[in-house]
Amino acid sequence: MTWGGDTSNVAVASAKLGHSAGYITRVGSDAFGRGLIELWTSSGVNIENAIVDEESPTGMYFVSFNGEKHEFDYRRKDAAARKFSPSDAARVSLEGIKILHLSGISQAISRECLEAGFVLMKRAKELGAMVSYDLNYRGKLWSRDLAKAIYLKTICDFADIVSMNDDEAEILNLPENHEEAVRKIMDMGPKTVAFRRGSQGAVLGFDGQILTGKAKRVRVADTVGAGDAFTAAILCCILESQTTDYTLQFALTAAALTCTATGSTDGQPTKKEIRDFLGGNPVTQQ
């Protein structure tokens, strides 16, 4: 058993990469809620905005592997996280934040959460913070049409940084050429676009440039959480004002190293481990 959740993985990865991170959610007052709180505290993620819900259980999921791909059996119908409301969002302390990260899953789990997400994004923007948005489509949570509408609104109105994959690019009817797809999103407003393509590598739109990189070769134990580590690495590089090339290589390495351990956070690397891995590859750093 491990603890995970896409946005939580990003928060934990960011903390491991040396930045200060916090997490906004509701968890159940059960053993699993306690487990999540301990995951965050032990990783250095601030929990002042993690509300313990006395009424609802913590959501969970079971993964089975059918030989080709992972199948997820979600148990989140009554989950505490789904009860996170716009009034919770209005009370959250956002002081000093530079980036607010949320995903399509954060929006899709409930109507309350969707609205709470918009409240948080509005507040973050007013404070001059950036909004990072991972589309992270889950077919069990919402339809492709609804997801598309929310994606477009969020990207156009709020997002500064967008993460997506091939399936989500298809939902948005983006051009088949990956660089053109990234350009199209950048034309909608976001300055940074991470197009994650798993073992195919990634395309990064960053600082006005668009670069393509191959995936780093590692012995894969479990790919779950690799995309979240990739996004966290991008966020950290933005905070450090790194170059486009360094950012892409850094993020590809963060994703690859995350795949070397099972679970979505155990394999997440530190900055030093990424640099050690990249040791042989000459990369420029500002």
Partner 1 sequence: MKRALGLGEIMIQMNPTEKGALRFQTLYERHVAGSEANTITQMQRLGIECSFLTAVGADEFGKVVLASLRSEGIDTSGVVIDEKNPTAVYFVQRGYPVPDKTMVFYYRKGSAASNFGPQHLKEEYFKGLDLFLVSGITPALSDSCKEASLKAVELAKKHSAKVAFDTNIRINLLKTKENAMKTLEPFIRKADILFTGMGDLAMLFESDFDRSRESLRKMAEQARLLVFKKGSGGIEAIVDGKRYSMPSYKVPVVDELGAGDACDGAFLASYLLGKPVEEALRYANVAGAITVSLKGDIEPLPDWKAMETFLASQEAGEKRLLR
CB 225 within 8 A of CB 11: no
CB 10 within 8 A of CB 231: yes
Q: Tell me how far the alpha carbon of residue 19 is from its chain's centroid.
A: 15
Please give the Cα distance from 92 to 89 (Å, whole number).
Answer: 5
Mask 8-47, x = binds partner 1 (CB under 8 A)? ----------------------xxx-xx--x---------
- 136 phi and psi angles, rounded to 5 deg: 35, 65
Q: Which of 44, 52, 60, 138 binds partner 1 (CB under 8 A)?
A: 60
Mask 91-130, x = binds partner 1 (CB under 8 A)? ----------------------------------------
Please give the Cα distance from 82 to 94 (Å, whole number).
Answer: 20
H or E element: which one contains 50? strand 50-53
Q: Which of 42, 48, 55, 71 binds partner 1 (CB under 8 A)?
A: 71
The residue (of 198 and 263) whose beta carbon lies closer to partner 1 is 263
Closest contact distance (angstroms) between CB of 2 and partner 1 is: 7
75 binds partner 1 (CB under 8 A): yes
Q: Which of residues 209-238 bind partner 1 (CB under 8 A)?
A: none
CB 233 within 8 A of CB 162: no
Instruction: Summarize as ranges the residues that interact with partner 1 (CB under 8 A).
Output: 1-2, 30-32, 34-35, 38, 57, 60, 62, 64, 71, 73, 75, 77-78
